[in-house]
């Protein structure tokens, strides 16, 4: 959309009424929609002066339509107001919005109350996990003849899972292709996506939550960093909408994956199901423990913070195991995992005694949690007078990587997935 006219309001509307809705100018940017409106009465914004002039914007939900009668819902919209002499205008930008795929004069917007029956999940990395040859090329001679055959497979149901106690999702795999160009300049690209169907209706929040869990599942399969940022949702009135969530779009040119947790094609569906089952209902329990895997592409920026997050993962996983055995918390639990993943331990700390290394890591965790991140001499409590270990950036980095790799191994183990414990050394940093 480039300088396209339309209308906007703070409430959903069925028909265009120029007396109720405001006229707008729509512009599509690389990762957002920009809406310009004359007047400021309906659209509130306010300024905050902190350490000099600054702008604090409100997040609002607006509903619009373009000149072709495609309904648009603006989620996470930021409002900026400007006034020049007698002319007042408002600029609304949205990095998350939905556009209806059916153009009708009877307008129906996607709202938080819309009942959704299914949605399509797109991520270009799916093709690297669910490999399929839906495009074949036969060549006769160098320039004599080329025959290209492409097909879209029928949706294949690959598994079902319980969701939120009283619902069920069925996951379908669809292999397709996307042609582009014309007879003089033609290209074709393979495409793979998932369709998630619900036993009972869900809301947009459920769709976004499940999409993020599928992102985490795909990350655990390929160790990729890209998230899904486009889904197509279908309601019960046979209307569909594309939801664009550009807040998720981060890595524009990620390299093709070099890691794949699935070594046997026969296990491809089982592995994906087991990992998704681990993540899908976390919001209805305590999801904080698994945040490093849900927010896998979030740049924390500090080795110290990453270390604490993955240490907590192992701490909770071990406590769950202890509870199943009828035992309490094991303060020195890390010894078991340093022994279990001895190859990883030896890669970073070959000659280090396990008992000494465990006490150093536990002391580091306690120091970071209670005293802060700056440390040169780490106090290690012992039966004798406290000893001190001189630490540097490289040692902390190695400790973080050790704990992170062990945590990933434990997640695979929790999902009943066999993996070479050392393989992650070349992929997780």
In the numeric block, which tokens belong to residue 219? Answer: 């990350």
pLDDT-based confidence at residue 189 (cuts at 50, 70, 90): confident
How confident is the model over 350-369, as pLDDT tens digits?
Answer: 989 999 999 999 999 999 99
Query: CB of 189 within 8 A of CB of 160?
Result: no
**Mean pLDDT across the chain:** 88
Confidence check: pLDDT of 52 > 70: no
Q: How far apart are CA 304 and CA 342, in angstroms?
A: 23
Q: What percent of the chain is modeled with pLDDT above 90?
A: 66
Query: CB of 229 within 8 A of CB of 246?
Result: yes
How confident is the model over 16-40, as pLDDT tens digits?
Answer: 998 889 999 999 988 899 999 886 6
Could you tell me the end-to-end alpha-carbon distance of the chain, in angstroms, rounded to an integer?
A: 41
Confidence check: pLDDT of 146 > 90: no
Query: CB of 107 within 8 A of CB of 65?
Result: yes
Query: CB of 334 within 8 A of CB of 361?
Result: yes
pLDDT score recorded for residue 58: 52
How confident is the model over 307-338, as pLDDT tens digits?
Answer: 999 999 999 999 999 999 999 999 999 999 99
Confidence check: pLDDT of 132 > 80: no
In 173-329, which residue ranges form alpha helices assigned H by DSSP?
A: 204-222, 268-279, 291-294, 303-324
Mean pLDDT of 44-53: 45
pTM for the model stands at: 0.90
Helix (H, G, I), strand (E, B) or coil at 326: coil
pLDDT-based confidence at residue 60 (cuts at 50, 70, 90): confident
pLDDT-based confidence at residue 48 (cuts at 50, 70, 90): very low
Confidence check: pLDDT of 47 > 70: no
Confidence check: pLDDT of 54 > 60: no
In the numeric block, which tokens belong to residue 193? Answer: 């996506």
pLDDT score recorded for residue 39: 67
Q: How far apart are CA 270 and CA 318, in angstroms?
A: 25
Mean pLDDT of 241-251: 86
Query: CB of 110 within 8 A of CB of 96?
Result: no
Query: CB of 69 within 8 A of CB of 105?
Result: yes
Mean pLDDT of 143-150: 70
CA distances from 96 to 39, 69, 308 (A): 23, 19, 32
In 90-150, which residue ranges form alpha helices assigned H by DSSP?
A: 126-129
| Lowest mean per-residue pLDDT among 19-23, 283-287, 293-297 | 283-287
Phi, psi (degrees; rounded to nearest 5) at 241: -140, 140
pLDDT score recorded for residue 181: 75
Higher pLDDT, 276 or 53: 276
Query: CB of 269 within 8 A of CB of 158?
Result: yes
How confident is the model over 226-238, as pLDDT tens digits?
Answer: 899 999 999 999 9
């Amino acid at each position: 959309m480039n300088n396209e006219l339309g209308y906007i309001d703070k409430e959903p509307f069925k028909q265009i009424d120029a007396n109720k809705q405001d006229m707008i100018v729509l512009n599509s940017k690389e990762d957002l929609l920009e809406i310009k409106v004359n007047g400021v009465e309906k659209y509130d914004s306010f300024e905050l002066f902190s350490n000099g002039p600054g702008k604090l914007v409100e997040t609002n939900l607006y509903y619009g339509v373009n000149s072709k009668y495609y309904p648009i819902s603006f989620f996470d919209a930021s409002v900026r107001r400007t006034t020049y002499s007698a002319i007042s205008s408002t600029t609304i930008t949205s990095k998350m919005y939905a556009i209806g795929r059916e153009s009708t004069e009877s307008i129906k917007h996607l709202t938080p109350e819309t009942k959704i029956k299914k949605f399509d999940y797109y991520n270009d990395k799916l093709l690297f996990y669910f490999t399929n040859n839906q495009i074949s090329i036969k060549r006769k001679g160098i320039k004599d003849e080329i025959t290209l055959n492409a097909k879209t497979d029928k949706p294949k149901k690959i598994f079902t899972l319980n969701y939120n106690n009283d619902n069920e999702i069925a996951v379908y795999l669809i292999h397709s292709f996307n042609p582009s160009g014309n007879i003089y300049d033609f290209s074709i690209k393979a495409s793979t996506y998932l369709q998630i169907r619900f036993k009972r209706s869900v809301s947009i929040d459920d769709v976004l939550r499940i999409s993020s869990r599928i992102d985490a599942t795909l990350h655990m399969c390929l160790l990729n960093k890209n998230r899904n940022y486009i889904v197509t949702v279908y309601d019960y009135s046979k209307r569909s909408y594309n939801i664009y969530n550009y807040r998720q779009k981060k890595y524009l040119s990620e390299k093709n994956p070099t890691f794949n947790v699935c070594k046997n094609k026969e296990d491809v569906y089982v592995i994906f199901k087991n990992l998704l089952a681990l993540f899908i209902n976390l919001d209805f329990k305590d999801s904080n423990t698994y945040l490093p895997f849900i927010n896998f592409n979030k740049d924390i920026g500090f080795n110290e913070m990453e270390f604490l997050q993955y240490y907590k993962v192992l701490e909770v996983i071990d406590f769950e195991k202890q509870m199943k055995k009828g035992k309490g918390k094991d303060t020195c639990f890390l010894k078991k995992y340093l022994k279990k993943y001895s190859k990883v331990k030896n890669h970073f700390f070959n000659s280090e005694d396990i008992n000494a290394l465990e006490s150093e890591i536990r002391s580091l965790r306690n120091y970071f949690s209670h005293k802060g991140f700056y440390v040169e001499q780490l106090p290690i409590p012992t039966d004798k007078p406290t000893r001190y270990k001189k630490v540097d950036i490289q040692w902390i980095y190695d400790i973080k990587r050790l704990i992170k790799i062990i945590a990933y191994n434990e997640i695979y183990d929790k999902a009943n997935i066999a993996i070479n414990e050392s393989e992650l050394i070349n992929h997780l940093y």
